[in-house]
Amino acid sequence: MTKRSDGGVAPCPYLRTGHDPGFGVWRLESLTDREREVLLLLGTGLGNRELARRLGIAERTVKAHIANIVGKTGQETRTQAAIVSALAHDVLCSDDSCTRHLAGGSGRRRPTAA
């Protein structure tokens, strides 16, 4: 394979690996409502103790949820699950006032001409 270094278009790794929330490879639908909630919070980088506080549950319950989430989404570590959370934020977050959702949902944002 030849590599171009002329500033050409970089191939999208999400498309190549299938790691795109649109393809459902993470099987987010297999998560319970609570697990989705934990996964959403996990994407903010919080530790177990803080997650437990936010959710009003015991720290070991948080650990159990995360272990389930990691398994169900086909990941190996909580860090990987946190990345899934960040990438799938649009799917997990249902807050209308959220500013992280892509405008229009077309998946491709066009920079507005200045």
Residue (2 or 97) nearer to Zn ion, CB: 97
Q: How far apart are the first and last CA of the chain?
A: 38
CA atoms of 105 and 58, how far apart (whole Å) = 36
Task: Using the minimum distance from each CB to Zn ion, give the nearer residue, 46 or 64.
Answer: 46
DSSP 95: -
Q: Is 70 in contact with 83 (CB distance < 8 Å)?
A: no
Q: Give the footprint of Zn ion on residues 17-76 (CB under 5 A).
A: none
86 vs 93, beta carbon nearer Zn ion: 93
Q: Does 100 bind Zn ion (CB under 5 A)?
A: yes
What distance in Å separates the CA atoms of residue 17 and residue 28, rounded to the nearest whole number?
17
Interface residues for Zn ion in 78-97 (CB under 5 A)? 93
Residue from 15, 58, 67, 98 that binds Zn ion (CB under 5 A)?
Answer: 98
Positions in the binding site for Zn ion (CB under 5 A): 93, 98, 100
